[in-house]
Chains A and B, each alone.
Chain A
């Protein structure tokens, strides 16, 4: 049973535009959410996090939005750069383990 879902397996965006990656979850007990970026042949790299007491967290070009009532999480990247091309995973936790989505492959076109 997939508790964290990323329904878009891929996304293409022009350089300089906004990239919006979406994530939905089913478990209302999740209280911590993370986004990871993964390049081929490397482990996932932590990008940004948000706790359930917030609805927005910003770090440079990256902003994560949390809508608890909709059980929806999104990552905004603006402006998008070619180096942002990677697979992005969202993850959610209610304790010590994280549940990951299946990932969205982002391609930023120069």
Chain B
């Protein structure tokens, strides 16, 4: 089954304790992306990756890191989490980058709800 998986689904942590949220897709997609969803703000893009070893900042990258060592995986790293990073996080992937050739449907993971105390 074609899917995007995220782990963990729920996480409660404390300020300053490094954490990683994993994201994996099995569709051989080139483009992967991380978003955070906050009430009244919709989804905002944190980082995206056009392909292996190619990553770039989205609208709200501060406090986050990513890596793309393999095509299928795109982990989100919070080196020193703070309470303002409490949010619902979504990973997404698409065959090609958004807007390219009209075949840029993004497939979303189920979300990770992160609470930083």
The answer to whether A and B come from one shared complex is no
A interface residues, Cβ below 8 angstroms from B: none
